[in-house]
Amino acid sequence: MDEITGTLRILAAVLLAVLGAALRRMLRGPTVPGWDWETELKRAALRAFALASAHPANRAARRRLEARFDPRLPKDLRGNVEVHRERLGGRPAERHVRVVGDLADRATILYLHGGGYVTGSPATHRRFVARLVWETHTSAFVPDYRLAPAHRFPAAVDDAEAAYRDLIGRSVAPEEIVVAGDSAGGGLAVALLLRIRDEDLPPPAGAILFSPYTDLEHGGSTIRRNHRFDYLPLVEPIRPNLEYLGDADPHHPLASPIHADLTGLPPLLVFAGGREMILDDSVRLVERARDAAVDVTFHVEDDMFHVWPALLPRHPATARTLAVCAEWVEQVVQKSS
């Protein structure tokens, strides 16, 4: 009964937020001049959902909703991409396979989903990964890595490493693997690259990071500056992500890669939204990577909020992002082959 009540509270919060955003837009215009109606209302709904489901009384309801979440692929991808349930590195996983088009994939993507290390699953990111696979002419594995607070740092890093080792054990050539992730999955992707380097494993061709979450201490100035434009549930007082960290040092490089020595990492493709709260996480990561002579390509979509490619599939900014991904994957895989 408590979970049902929590679900109703979350849904009510989302509905009221969307109605309020629609009324404000009609009276005052868009929050950001470049936002269309979908962007405006999607941001309002996401923020209400994030804030309501982060409340302790509603967390069980969110877990229940995510456990039951099993979306179909978009109509234009059905019959073009298939999703299979498998195991990877000892964990459940989803495998995305293109079944029409080019006979040979350019690469295999190891995709690490976002969710602040406490939420998310392969199912929550199924539609976006399928779109990424289709546009980049790749296949993908999405492991269901362990989440906090039941499994704290470095459980997610351990699972990501196990997934990578399993891929290599299946005779997937490392130079044809691209690690990718969004938000916490983006930070986890960098942590995985550091583990690969430090364990002397053969490196992947590179990594694609969408709005990477790289500072679990939340020290970036854009958290406050972009608060009214984004949907992340970071409100005053802004505290470190102790649900994942536990007693670990928030400066640990595998938890907050902005504190890592990034020397020797493979090429990075980093995307960030100019209106997102953790924009500074991307900016500082890119600066450290360039200081370490890492090959970095950095794109900022000025009007976008956090992880927009997964949330606004029809937006021109998403089309631009996926086009850049496709070109970059082809380049780094050819270079490393």
* Positions marked active-site: 183, 276, 306
**Separation between Cα atoms, residue 238 and residue 224, nearest integer Å:** 9
DSSP 78: B
CB atoms within 10 A of CB 272: 28
CA separation for the pair 44, 37 (Å, rounded): 11
Radius of gyration, alpha carbons of the chain: 19
Residue 82 backbone dihedrals phi, psi, to 5 degrees: -115, 145
Distance (Å, whole) CA 174 – CA 333? 10
Complete edge-to-edge strand list for the sheet that includes strand 268-273: 81-88, 91-98, 139-143, 108-112, 177-182, 206-210, 268-273, 296-301
205, 178 Cβ separation under 8 angstroms: yes
The rounded distance, in Å, linking the Cα atoms of 120 and 188 is 13
Helices (H) and strands (E) in the chain, counts: 11, 8
DSSP 176-233: GEEEEEETHHHHHHHHHHHHHHHTTPPP-SEEEEES----TT---THHHHTGGG----
Do residues 177 and 207 touch, judged by C-beta distance below 8 A? no
Residues 6+ apart with CB under 8 A from 235: 51
100-to-16, 79, 82, 86, 137 alpha-carbon distances in Å: 42, 8, 10, 21, 10
